[in-house]
Chains A and B, each alone.
Chain A
């Protein structure tokens, strides 16, 4: 693999994540996909191996190794199983509002357990009638003395039901428009906070996707993240931070499919020779590898820029997610093609990779929305000139 100038620690993280994914993920991924069982066992191994707090400061129990380190681990895990990969990454999505905007007390209270992997986190923004148009959400938070009362339902929340800590966005004052939402920290077990059934999905089947249901759920005002009215800002800045992570997940899934395609093409004989000797196959593999490397370079560069203190990366974070996820879809589809009929069968892992790849074009904002973001960024930049 190309030398990306990774530090010794970053190389170690990659090696460790790969070792765990290979030894603990490969033997179970097919079964997890079939049954949809949540990957608690391997999540515990990540926890014991110190991989859950890469993006969290040492002060709060993490290892403080930053965005690129987190992306490297996510990539290697997803290379083996996209479902385990998103379970790992979605905890960071759920914790990011606290990392970015939490008060000192909130950070001390919630981050150490998440960093240690003792608890998972989740992020609740989407609702049945508010997907791309998050501002259309209907969940409300009504102030009541020292508390807010939450009512409404969040839909398709990754790690829902399994996580202990939830960052949830709700409308606190509809009249205020984009300043009318507030972010809250919720804990599993709070009265009035329950879960819907686990969704039955096309891919990433072992990851848990559930509704969060709030019925008069009383949340103390200490659990407001940042300030009342900052909910959408918290959500948008969170997604800026985590979209490169989805990019890394997509790069991992694509790389996993390329690994399988090459292995198969070397060993499959037709017309008297291995199909990898056919130029048609080589050209497909060449395109796949080139696209993956381009996606990886983009993800690593943006992650590194974030680690170096870059402030405004909304547009580039969107590019990471857009380009890498489109790459993952194309590459996994081509991997199935290279394996022919065998690729379509569940005995080989590429059909699962193709199903897993699809979600990366949808969640954390569809790729249409990413393009909108990038377009908006271009217009803003042009206006400054």
Chain B
């Protein structure tokens, strides 16, 4: 069973600062990590490989620094990795990103399953996984908390807000995973040594037979108008004293603000 995992390198915090003048993320001093949900996707792929055999290939679209994320995947046990990188990919929205990854996947060729994290912690769109499925025209299941593969089909337990749902889809398919699916393994020493030595192959726009009109900023219908930090919520007011006085105080405040 050949599995391709799509991962993203993200800043190591959900609270990155935004430069108010340029409306862009301030990345200086913020270490980069593999998007946490993508670590779950790698783990899910490695576990499926241990069960069914085959190969785990990990890809990422990003700048040259994103090689570090791929090295981490190798250290965890990925068999092959590719960096999909080209100046032409700069400014990609989720449409262009999923197009580019789908083209890279077509280039790699052989796959039974594509795994992604449910969303990236920097953009939080959860659109790229489903987008890849659309570009490849294959089935998809999102928010997987359990995946069982048999007879060229995947039984997927999806974690929804109120309940879980079990669906069965034919392979090949795209499945995105939530963090509850597993606990990502630690890298191994042998994996780290392999990662250190490994050359990471890069795929350019030309390598993936990409259409320049569909990639990068040009291929991105979404325009980010503004990014800003919403004003911080003011701290609440603490009432102290005897319970009866506090209760009276609360009632007075509610009346004062005409909440009821």
Count of A-B contacts judged by CB separation below 8 Å = 30
Q: Nearest chain A CB to B170's CB is how many angstroms away? A: 33
- Give the CA-CA distance A45 to B190 in the complex, in Å: 14
The stretch that binds B, out of A12-20, A203-211, A231-239, A342-350, is A12-20
Q: How far is the CA of A244 from the CA of B196 in the complex (A)?
A: 29
Chain A nearest Cβ from B34, distance in angstroms: 13
Shortest Cβ gap from B49 to chain A (Å): 15
Q: CB of A297 within 8 A of chain B?
A: no
B110 near A: Cβ within 8 Å?
no
Give the shortest distance, in Å, between A61 (CB) and chain B (any CB).
Answer: 12
Contacts of A24 in B (CB 8 A): 186
- Decide if B185 is an interface residue (CB 8 Å cutoff): yes
Contact between chains at B193 and A49 (CB < 8 Å): no
Residues of A near B188 (CB, < 8 A) are: 48-50
Interface residues of A in 11-35 (CB under 8 A from B): 12-13, 16, 19-20, 23-24
Question: Is B203 positioned at the interface, with any CB of A under 8 Å from its CB?
Answer: no
What mask results when residues 16 to 28 of chain B are scored 1 for a CB within 8 Å of chain A, else 0? 0000000000000
Chain B, interface size: which category?
A: under 10
Query: Can you list, as one digit per residue, whether each of A27-56 has a CB less than 8 Å from chain B (1) or not (0)?
Result: 000000000000000000100111100000
Q: A63: CB under 8 A from chain B? A: yes
Complex-state Cα separation, A199 to B4, whole angstroms: 50
In whole angstroms, how far apart are the Cα atoms of A232 and B189 in the complex? 35
Closest Cβ of chain B to A200, distance in Å, is: 31
Q: Is B159 an interface residue (CB 8 A)?
A: no
A9 on the B face (CB < 8 A): yes
In the complex, what's the smallest C-beta–C-beta distance from A143 to chain B, in angstroms? 43
Q: Which of these, B185, B190, B196, contacts A50 with CB under 8 Å?
A: B190
Are B196 and A20 touching (Cβ within 8 A)? no
| B189 adjacent to A63 (CB under 8 Å) | yes
Q: Are A12 and B190 in contact (CB under 8 A)?
A: no
B64 interface residue (CB < 8 Å to A) = no
Give the distance to chain A from B201, nearest Cβ to Cβ, in Å.
22
Tell which of B185, B187, B189, B196 has the most Cβ of chain A within 10 Å: B189
B77 to chain A, nearest CB (A): 10
A380 to B210: give the CA distance in the assembly, Å: 77
Q: Which of B185, B186, B193 touches A9 (beta carbons < 8 Å)? A: B193
Contacts of A50 in B (CB 8 A): 188-190
B196: which A residues are within 8 A, CB to CB?
8, 12
Q: Please give, as numbers and ranges, the residues of chain A lying within 8 Å of B186 by CB-CB distance.
A: 16, 19-20, 23-24, 45, 48-49
- In the complex, what distance in Å separates the CA atom of A12 from the CA atom of B193? 8
Judge whether B200 is part of the interface by a CB distance below 8 angstroms. no
Nearest Cβ on chain B to A275's Cβ, whole angstroms: 27
A93 to B53, CA, bound (A): 37
Q: Does B208 contact A (CB under 8 A)?
A: no
CA distance A277 to B75 in the complex (A): 42
Q: Which residue of A lies closest to B77 (CB)?
A: A48
Check B1 for interface membership: any CB of A closer than 8 A.
Answer: no
B136 contacts the other chain (CB 8 A): no
Q: Give min CB distance, A66 to chain B, whole Å.
A: 13
Cβ-closest chain B residue relative to A46: B186
Minimum CB–CB distance from B193 to chain A (whole Å) comes to 7
Would B185 and A12 count as touching, CB distance under 8 A?
no
- Residues on B with beta carbons closer than 8 Å to the beta carbon of A45: 186
Fill in one digit per residue for A192-216: 1 if any B CB lies within 8 Å of its CB, else 0: 0000000000000000000000000
Q: Are A16 and B192 touching (Cβ within 8 A)? A: yes
| Min C-beta distance of B33 to chain A, whole Å | 12
A49 CA to B196 CA, complexed, in Å: 16
Q: Are A63 and B185 in contact (CB under 8 A)?
A: no
Bound form: Cα–Cα A385–B36 in Å: 64
- Chain B residues in 8 Å Cβ range of A48: 185-186, 188
B88 to chain A, nearest CB (A): 35
Give chain B interface residues in 144-197, CB to chain A under 8 Å.
Answer: 185-190, 192-193, 196
Query: Is A13 a contact partner of B189 (Cβ separation < 8 A)?
Result: yes
Q: Tell me whether B185 and A51 are in contact (CB under 8 A).
A: no
- Which residue from chain B places its CB closest to the CB of A8 in the assembled complex? B196
Q: How far is the CB of B184 from chain A (nearest CB, A)?
A: 10
| Residues from chain A with Cβ under 8 Å of B193 in the complex | 9, 12
Q: Interface digits, A300-324 against B, CB 8 Å rule (1 contact, 0 not)? A: 0000000000000000000000000
Report A18 CB to chain B, min CB distance, Å.
Answer: 11
- Given A8-B196, A12-B196, A63-B187 contact (CB < 8 Å): no
Q: In the complex the two chains form, what is the Cα distance from A48 to B192 in whole Å?
A: 13
Chain A contacts with B in 42-88, Cβ cutoff 8 A: 45, 48-51, 63
What's the nearest-Cβ distance from chain B to residue A10, in Å? 11
- Chain B 71-86 per-residue mask, 1 if CB under 8 angstroms from chain A, else 0: 0000000000000000
Residues of B contacting A63 in the complex (Cβ-Cβ under 8 angstroms): 189-190
Shortest Cβ distance from A280 into chain B, in angstroms?
33
Q: In the bound complex, how far is the Cα of B185 from the Cα of A46, in angstroms?
A: 11
B177 to chain A, nearest CB (A): 20
Chain B positions within 8 Å of A23 at CB level: 186
24 CB contacts below 8 A, A to B, read: A12-B189, A12-B192, A12-B193, A12-B196, A16-B186, A16-B187, A16-B189, A16-B192, A19-B186, A19-B187, A20-B186, A23-B186, A24-B186, A45-B186, A48-B186, A48-B188, A49-B186, A49-B187, A49-B189, A50-B188, A50-B189, A51-B189, A63-B189, A63-B190
Closest 8 CB pairs of A and B: A50-B189, A49-B188, A50-B188, A49-B186, A12-B192, A50-B190, A20-B186, A45-B186
Given contacts A12-B193, A45-B186, 9 further A-B contacts (CB under 8 A): A8-B196, A9-B193, A12-B192, A13-B189, A23-B186, A48-B186, A50-B189, A63-B189, A63-B190
